[in-house]
Amino acid sequence: MTHVNAPTAGVALTAIGVALIREQESRRPDRLYADPLATAFVDAARRDFTRTGAGAAKWERVEAVAEQFFAGRSVGVRLVDDRVAEAVAAGCRQIVLLGAGLDTRAFRMGLPADATVYELDLPELFAFKEPVLRALHATPTTLRHVLPIDLRTDWAVPLRERGFRPELPTHWIDEGALPYLPPEDHLRTVATLTTLSAPGSHFGLSRFAVDPEAAPYAELRRLVAGDDAGMPPPDAGRPGEQWLLEHGWHTRFRAWDDMIVPLGRDVAVNDPEVGVVLAERV
């Protein structure tokens, strides 16, 4: 395959970590989903990182962090898959991935041809993702629009210009992207998607009891921001369930430990407060 530049620094690098997780899951006999394109992303990224000694050392760190997050994050991917499948079965035809990373649901889930998937992420992410997909002649089963854009800017206008229809219900996916935004941009993004959400639209907020000082999180932060990076901004100011209720969403909470039961993986957190706030626009 021709050489493509992988994002070797900055937040887009985290997308490679999740691709590593999906690639590992896809190799398991008891896999929860199959993501063959993840292998192509991982192979291309590995080739790019390991061209230099420093890059090879960083690649090892990325692999080590992905390994530490694997068990819970991989189950999380499947839970999001299930919600997408439910939404589509219920008639939803508009799906927006906020911080799509190397997600391949438009290719791997058999989504219907009359649905549209909008993928929003940083330009450097798509500068890596799209050439890899093109080299494989990968074809989505659904309409797919890519928006290389910073979510800290006004993304609603380009989204609408690409054909997004606010009068249709939308399934919005934030799978680990919005927490990277400063709190004010995180809030503005949720406020924006709220104004773009017709009745019947869905959104979800994760509620995790995370210790940001725990080793895997600290290492992830160093990989993204550099080894001398300071602390991330505090959580205050980010929208929560109360914000959603006050802005026209119905919410229900599903505990992580209940959601994972059918999947048969040993990833219980034994904390009934951890889970997802599932929101439906009314």
Ligand X SMILES: C[S@@+](CC[C@H](N)C(=O)[O-])C[C@H]1O[C@@H](n2cnc3c(N)ncnc32)[C@H](O)[C@@H]1O
Given the rule CB under 6 A, which residues bind ligand X?
11-12, 14-15, 18, 99-103, 121-122, 125, 150-152, 175-177, 180-181
Minimum distance from CB of 80 to ligand X (Å)?
A: 8
Separation CA 123–CA 6 (nearest Å): 12
CB atoms within 10 A of CB 16: 29
Minimum distance from CB of 154 to ligand X (Å)?
A: 12
Q: Is the Cβ of residue 98 or residue 244 nearer to ligand X in the bound state?
A: 98
Q: Is the Cβ of residue 115 or residue 151 nearer to ligand X in the bound state?
A: 151
Which among 197, 208, 216 has a CA at the least distance from the CA of 175?
Answer: 208
Q: Is the Cβ of residue 6 or residue 250 nearer to ligand X in the bound state?
A: 6
Q: Is the Cβ of residue 60 or residue 150 nearer to ligand X in the bound state?
A: 150
Minimum distance from CB of 196 to ligand X (Å)?
A: 16
Q: Is the Cβ of residue 177 or residue 276 nearer to ligand X in the bound state?
A: 177
| φ, ψ of residue 208 in degrees (nearest 5) | -115, 145
The sign of the torsion formed by the CA atoms of 150, 155, 161, 164 equals: positive
Separation CA 93–CA 115 (nearest Å): 4
Q: Which two tokens stand for residue 76?
A: 């999380």
| Contacts with 78 (C-beta within 8 Å, 6 or more apart), sequence order | 32, 33, 263
Q: Which two tokens stand for residue 119?
A: 């993928």
Minimum distance from CB of 221 to ligand X (Å)?
A: 12
Minimum distance from CB of 45 to ligand X (Å)?
A: 13
Q: Is the Cβ of residue 79 or residue 125 nearer to ligand X in the bound state?
A: 125
Are 4 and 43 in contact by the 8 Å Cβ rule? The answer is no
Minimum distance from CB of 161 to ligand X (Å)?
A: 17
